[in-house]
Amino acid sequence: MNKTIKVLLIEDERKIANFIKRGLNETGFIVDESLTGMEGLEKIQNKEYSLIILDLMLPDLDGFDVCSKIRELDIRYPVLILTARNSTEDKVKGLDMGADDYLTKPFAINELVARVKALLRRGPSVIDNVLKVGDLVLNIKTHEVYRNGKYIELSQKEFVILEYLMLNTGVVLTRSMIEEHAWDYEFDGFSNVVDVYIRLLRKKIDDEYKNKIIKTVRGFGYKIQA
Ligand code: CA
Protein backbone atom coordinates (compact mmCIF):
# COMPACT_ATOMS: atom_id res chain seq x y z
CA MET A 1 0.00 0.00 0.00
CA ASN A 2 1.09 3.54 -0.67
CA LYS A 3 2.76 4.95 2.43
CA THR A 4 2.36 8.51 1.33
CA ILE A 5 -1.40 8.60 1.78
CA LYS A 6 -2.15 10.89 4.71
CA VAL A 7 -5.46 10.88 6.48
CA LEU A 8 -6.65 13.51 8.94
CA LEU A 9 -8.79 12.14 11.75
CA ILE A 10 -10.90 14.67 13.67
CA GLU A 11 -12.30 12.80 16.67
CA ASP A 12 -12.42 13.85 20.34
CA GLU A 13 -12.78 10.38 21.84
CA ARG A 14 -9.30 9.01 22.45
CA LYS A 15 -10.39 5.40 22.47
CA ILE A 16 -12.14 5.59 19.13
CA ALA A 17 -9.33 7.68 17.66
CA ASN A 18 -6.74 5.08 18.68
CA PHE A 19 -8.86 2.27 17.29
CA ILE A 20 -9.18 4.00 13.92
CA LYS A 21 -5.56 5.03 13.84
CA ARG A 22 -4.38 1.49 14.46
CA GLY A 23 -6.59 0.11 11.70
CA LEU A 24 -5.47 2.68 9.15
CA ASN A 25 -1.80 2.36 10.09
CA GLU A 26 -2.01 -1.37 9.54
CA THR A 27 -3.35 -0.65 6.06
CA GLY A 28 -0.34 1.56 5.39
CA PHE A 29 -1.89 5.02 5.79
CA ILE A 30 -0.36 7.81 7.81
CA VAL A 31 -2.84 9.29 10.28
CA ASP A 32 -2.77 12.79 11.75
CA GLU A 33 -5.11 13.41 14.67
CA SER A 34 -7.08 16.39 15.89
CA LEU A 35 -9.18 16.36 19.04
CA THR A 36 -11.19 19.45 18.14
CA GLY A 37 -12.76 20.95 15.05
CA MET A 38 -10.67 24.12 15.25
CA GLU A 39 -7.45 22.15 15.47
CA GLY A 40 -8.57 20.05 12.52
CA LEU A 41 -9.31 23.10 10.37
CA GLU A 42 -5.92 24.54 11.22
CA LYS A 43 -4.17 21.36 10.13
CA ILE A 44 -6.14 21.24 6.90
CA GLN A 45 -4.91 24.71 5.99
CA ASN A 46 -1.29 23.89 6.67
CA LYS A 47 -0.95 20.40 5.32
CA GLU A 48 -1.93 18.29 2.36
CA TYR A 49 -4.16 15.28 3.06
CA SER A 50 -5.79 12.67 0.88
CA LEU A 51 -8.88 12.26 3.02
CA ILE A 52 -10.56 13.51 6.20
CA ILE A 53 -12.44 11.40 8.71
CA LEU A 54 -14.69 13.68 10.71
CA ASP A 55 -16.68 12.99 13.87
CA LEU A 56 -19.93 14.95 14.10
CA MET A 57 -20.01 15.43 17.90
CA LEU A 58 -16.99 17.53 18.74
CA PRO A 59 -16.40 19.64 21.86
CA ASP A 60 -16.07 22.95 20.01
CA LEU A 61 -17.45 23.08 16.47
CA ASP A 62 -20.20 20.88 15.16
CA GLY A 63 -18.89 18.39 12.58
CA PHE A 64 -21.38 19.84 10.07
CA ASP A 65 -19.76 23.27 10.46
CA VAL A 66 -16.30 21.80 10.06
CA CYS A 67 -17.45 20.10 6.88
CA SER A 68 -18.91 23.23 5.31
CA LYS A 69 -15.79 25.22 6.30
CA ILE A 70 -13.65 22.61 4.57
CA ARG A 71 -15.62 23.12 1.36
CA GLU A 72 -15.51 26.92 1.79
CA LEU A 73 -11.74 26.64 1.85
CA ASP A 74 -12.05 24.99 -1.56
CA ILE A 75 -10.58 21.77 -0.23
CA ARG A 76 -11.81 18.97 -2.39
CA TYR A 77 -10.48 15.76 -0.99
CA PRO A 78 -13.07 13.36 0.39
CA VAL A 79 -14.68 13.73 3.81
CA LEU A 80 -16.02 10.68 5.61
CA ILE A 81 -18.39 11.55 8.47
CA LEU A 82 -18.42 9.42 11.57
CA THR A 83 -21.18 9.61 14.09
CA ALA A 84 -23.28 7.95 16.72
CA ARG A 85 -26.35 9.60 15.24
CA ASN A 86 -28.01 7.53 12.58
CA SER A 87 -31.07 9.45 11.54
CA THR A 88 -31.66 9.95 7.85
CA GLU A 89 -31.85 13.71 8.43
CA ASP A 90 -28.30 13.82 9.77
CA LYS A 91 -27.11 11.75 6.90
CA VAL A 92 -28.72 14.03 4.34
CA LYS A 93 -27.46 17.12 6.16
CA GLY A 94 -23.92 15.76 6.20
CA LEU A 95 -23.98 15.00 2.51
CA ASP A 96 -25.49 18.44 1.83
CA MET A 97 -22.62 20.06 3.71
CA GLY A 98 -20.21 18.42 1.31
CA ALA A 99 -19.39 15.11 3.00
CA ASP A 100 -18.75 12.21 0.66
CA ASP A 101 -19.74 9.30 2.84
CA TYR A 102 -21.19 8.50 6.21
CA LEU A 103 -20.47 5.78 8.79
CA THR A 104 -22.48 5.15 11.95
CA LYS A 105 -20.83 4.13 15.21
CA PRO A 106 -20.22 1.44 16.24
CA PHE A 107 -18.54 0.12 13.12
CA ALA A 108 -16.06 -2.60 12.27
CA ILE A 109 -12.59 -1.32 11.40
CA ASN A 110 -12.70 -3.37 8.19
CA GLU A 111 -15.71 -1.45 7.04
CA LEU A 112 -14.04 1.88 7.75
CA VAL A 113 -10.92 0.84 5.85
CA ALA A 114 -13.04 -0.35 2.91
CA ARG A 115 -14.94 2.96 2.80
CA VAL A 116 -11.71 4.96 2.99
CA LYS A 117 -10.22 2.98 0.11
CA ALA A 118 -13.37 3.42 -1.97
CA LEU A 119 -13.34 7.18 -1.40
CA LEU A 120 -9.67 7.42 -2.31
CA ARG A 121 -10.33 5.56 -5.53
CA ARG A 122 -13.06 8.03 -6.33
CA GLY A 123 -10.80 11.00 -5.68
CA PRO A 124 -11.70 14.52 -4.60
CA SER A 125 -15.08 16.14 -5.15
CA VAL A 126 -14.97 18.08 -8.38
CA ILE A 127 -16.67 21.43 -8.63
CA ASP A 128 -17.61 22.88 -12.03
CA ASN A 129 -15.92 19.95 -13.81
CA VAL A 130 -12.68 21.90 -13.95
CA LEU A 131 -9.39 20.78 -12.43
CA LYS A 132 -6.53 23.24 -11.99
CA VAL A 133 -2.91 22.74 -11.13
CA GLY A 134 -1.03 26.00 -11.41
CA ASP A 135 -1.66 27.28 -14.94
CA LEU A 136 -2.75 23.86 -16.19
CA VAL A 137 -6.51 23.56 -16.60
CA LEU A 138 -8.45 20.41 -17.44
CA ASN A 139 -12.16 20.27 -18.11
CA ILE A 140 -13.55 16.85 -17.25
CA LYS A 141 -16.70 17.35 -19.29
CA THR A 142 -15.41 18.91 -22.49
CA HIS A 143 -12.06 17.05 -22.31
CA GLU A 144 -10.20 20.28 -23.04
CA VAL A 145 -6.78 20.93 -21.59
CA TYR A 146 -4.99 24.27 -21.49
CA ARG A 147 -1.67 25.35 -20.11
CA ASN A 148 -1.07 29.05 -19.66
CA GLY A 149 -4.11 29.62 -21.89
CA LYS A 150 -2.73 27.50 -24.72
CA TYR A 151 -4.83 24.57 -25.92
CA ILE A 152 -3.16 21.18 -25.66
CA GLU A 153 -4.34 18.26 -27.72
CA LEU A 154 -4.17 14.94 -25.90
CA SER A 155 -4.95 11.38 -26.92
CA GLN A 156 -7.66 9.58 -24.96
CA LYS A 157 -5.16 7.68 -22.77
CA GLU A 158 -3.05 10.76 -22.15
CA PHE A 159 -6.18 12.58 -21.02
CA VAL A 160 -7.25 9.78 -18.67
CA ILE A 161 -3.81 9.66 -17.04
CA LEU A 162 -3.53 13.44 -16.72
CA GLU A 163 -7.02 13.64 -15.23
CA TYR A 164 -6.13 10.94 -12.70
CA LEU A 165 -2.94 12.79 -11.70
CA MET A 166 -4.85 16.06 -11.36
CA LEU A 167 -7.63 14.47 -9.32
CA ASN A 168 -4.87 13.44 -6.93
CA THR A 169 -2.83 16.64 -6.99
CA GLY A 170 0.14 16.42 -4.65
CA VAL A 171 -0.39 12.69 -4.07
CA VAL A 172 2.13 10.16 -5.36
CA LEU A 173 0.57 7.61 -7.68
CA THR A 174 2.44 4.39 -8.26
CA ARG A 175 2.84 2.96 -11.76
CA SER A 176 0.47 0.13 -10.91
CA MET A 177 -2.17 2.58 -9.63
CA ILE A 178 -1.97 4.48 -12.92
CA GLU A 179 -2.06 1.26 -14.93
CA GLU A 180 -5.09 -0.02 -13.09
CA HIS A 181 -6.84 3.29 -13.55
CA ALA A 182 -6.12 3.78 -17.24
CA TRP A 183 -6.36 0.21 -18.46
CA ASP A 184 -8.96 -2.30 -17.38
CA TYR A 185 -6.73 -5.31 -17.44
CA GLU A 186 -3.88 -6.36 -15.17
CA PHE A 187 -0.36 -5.67 -16.31
CA ASP A 188 2.54 -8.02 -15.74
CA GLY A 189 4.21 -5.48 -13.49
CA PHE A 190 7.24 -5.18 -15.76
CA SER A 191 5.63 -3.14 -18.47
CA ASN A 192 6.87 0.42 -18.87
CA VAL A 193 3.72 1.68 -20.57
CA VAL A 194 3.11 4.25 -17.82
CA ASP A 195 6.59 5.71 -18.25
CA VAL A 196 5.98 5.96 -21.98
CA TYR A 197 2.75 7.89 -21.46
CA ILE A 198 4.28 10.16 -18.83
CA ARG A 199 7.01 11.00 -21.34
CA LEU A 200 4.36 11.87 -23.95
CA LEU A 201 2.48 14.02 -21.45
CA ARG A 202 5.64 15.84 -20.37
CA LYS A 203 6.42 16.64 -23.97
CA LYS A 204 3.04 18.31 -24.40
CA ILE A 205 2.62 19.86 -20.98
CA ASP A 206 6.00 20.55 -19.42
CA ASP A 207 8.70 20.74 -22.07
CA GLU A 208 8.26 24.35 -23.09
CA TYR A 209 7.77 25.65 -19.55
CA LYS A 210 10.34 26.33 -16.88
CA ASN A 211 8.05 25.17 -14.12
CA LYS A 212 7.70 21.39 -14.57
CA ILE A 213 4.54 20.13 -12.88
CA ILE A 214 4.71 16.39 -13.57
CA LYS A 215 7.18 15.08 -11.03
CA THR A 216 8.94 11.75 -10.70
CA VAL A 217 9.09 10.45 -7.15
CA ARG A 218 11.98 8.04 -7.22
CA GLY A 219 11.09 4.55 -6.06
CA PHE A 220 7.34 5.35 -5.92
CA GLY A 221 5.87 6.79 -9.08
CA TYR A 222 4.57 10.13 -10.26
CA LYS A 223 2.68 13.11 -8.99
CA ILE A 224 1.46 16.41 -10.33
CA GLN A 225 2.02 19.61 -8.41
CA ALA A 226 2.38 23.28 -9.31
CA1 CA B 1 -17.28 12.74 19.52
Dump pLDDT digits (tens) for 47-106.
888 899 999 999 999 899 999 898 888 787 889 999 876 677 777 788 778 888 889 888
Please state, rounded to an integer, the average pLDDT across all residues of the chain.
87
Q: What is the DSSP string of 144-211?
A: -EEETTEEE---HHHHHHHHHHHHTTT--EEHHHHHHHH-SS---S---HHHHHHHHHHHHHTTT-SS
As a whole number of angstroms, the distance between CA 83 and CA 10 comes to 11
Provide the percentage of residues in the chain whose pLDDT is more than 70. Answer: 92
Compute, in angstroms, the gap from residue 111 CA to the centroid of ligand 1: 19
pLDDT of residue 125: 59
Strands 6-10 and 51-55: parallel
As a whole number of angstroms, the distance between CA 43 and CA 83 comes to 21
Strands 30-34 and 6-10: parallel
Provide the percentage of residues in the chain whose pLDDT is more than 90. Answer: 52
Compute, in angstroms, the gap from residue 47 CA to the centroid of ligand 1: 23
Give Cα 181 to chain centroid, integer Å: 14
Dump pLDDT digits (tens) for 161-192.
999 999 888 888 988 889 888 886 655 555 78
Count of alpha carbons within 13 angstroms of residue 111, beta-carbon side = 9
Q: Which domains does the chain have, with CATH numbers?
A: 6-122 (3.40.50.2300), 128-224 (1.10.10.10)
Compute, in angstroms, the gap from residue 54 CA to the centroid of ligand 1: 9
pLDDT of residue 19: 94
Compute, in angstroms, the gap from residue 145 CA to the centroid of ligand 1: 43
pLDDT over 50 (residue 127): yes
